[in-house]
Amino acid sequence: MNAKRVLVAYGSKSGATAGIAEEIGRTLRDDGFDAVVLPADTVTDVSGYDGVVLGGALYAGHWTGKARRCARRNAEQLRHRPLWLFSSGPGEATLNGRCGMLHYEPSGSGTTPPRRRATLVFVLLIALICGAVAAGSLWSAGAETDRELAAHRHQVTATTTGPAKDPPVATRYGSKARAVAPAVWEQPEHVRRSGNIHVPPATPQGRTVTIWVDDAGAPARPPGSAADRALTALSGGVAAAGVIGVAGAGVVLLVRRRTEAHRLAAWEREWEQVEPVWSGRLHRGSGAGNDDE
């Protein structure tokens, strides 16, 4: 079985606190731990350790700056693994003249990543549901529009009175190219009408074609098909899901950043409350440490 890996980090300048850290490291190794002793200002990541021991010398009743900066730099990771804090200094600055130490248990170790994944899955699920609702709404609205349009569209037979001519700019209905030709037709009330209609390219004079007209007998676009409605609904649903997903992810990121800021602020508040206890500092400015920055 692999030994538990423990980091012993220290903030020291003249060497006294470093000596304490080395002794802690030796003791841990004697007890079967894989202990690594490092200066606090070189520690940028503690994720590779099962536990952390962090200490610093007291100067004017406060921890050395290197140790404080190490704690703040790795605050989030330190909250999720066992943590021991120790300090060294003169008798009035520590616990009855001895090295002071305090132990913290991790809060929610290993639970953050699954929680974040669950949040992202929830956002994705909401986005998909909203996309499906949007697609359904677009389908229903399109179907209603097409029904109303179909009530005012009529198919009639027209006869071309001249050869087809390609328009200056190609006109397309779907993927089929269309040309323009003069033609005559009768509207539903049997009133004869004439005008230009869209026909396949190279349509000769005298050819009969089926066209759509409105209630006034003028050429008009046909009612939408089920395929067109499906494409519109699908596109709208995907767009809605994408917008909601991106917005939801942005909200999650914002909340996470605010939560992180609150956690760091809580860490600072806890630090102010805990430091006098484990350091033995009786009042601000009491005692001068044997190590400084």
Mind giving me the DSSP string for 140-183?
Answer: HHHHHHHHHHHTT-EEEEEEESS--B--SS-EEETTEEEEEEEE
Average pLDDT over residues 169-186: 69
pTM score above 0.85 = no
Average pLDDT over residues 229-236: 88
Per-residue confidence at 281, pLDDT binned at 50, 70, 90? very low
Window from 2-6, 21-25, 265-269, 287-291 with minimum mean pLDDT:
287-291
Q: What is the pLDDT of residue 90?
A: 57
108-140 burial by CB neighbour count: b if 16+ within 10 A, else e?
Answer: eeeeeeeeeeebeeebeeebeebbeebbeebbe
For 78, the token pair is: 């330190």
Check pLDDT > 60 for residue 93: no
Check pLDDT > 60 for residue 181: yes
Cα–Cα distance list, 214 to 170, 182, 194 (Å): 24, 18, 14
Per-residue confidence at 54, pLDDT binned at 50, 70, 90? very high
Average pLDDT over residues 168-182: 63
Question: What distance in Å separates the CA atoms of residue 209 and residue 189, rounded to the nearest whole number?
Answer: 19
Question: What distance in Å separates the CA atoms of residue 70 and residue 87, rounded to the nearest whole number?
Answer: 14
Query: For residue 8, which of 38, 42, 49 has the smallest C-alpha distance?
Result: 38
For 194, the token pair is: 């004439």
Check pLDDT > 60 for residue 91: no
Give the containing element (helix H, strand E) for 241: helix 226-279
Higher pLDDT, 96 or 76: 76
Average pLDDT over residues 161-167: 82
**Residues above pLDDT 90, as percent of the chain:** 14
Average pLDDT over residues 152-164: 88
**Residues above pLDDT 70, as percent of the chain:** 74
Q: What is the pLDDT of residue 45?
A: 92
Q: What is the pLDDT of residue 277?
A: 53
> Where do we find the tokens 């990121």?
253
Q: What is the pLDDT of residue 34?
A: 93
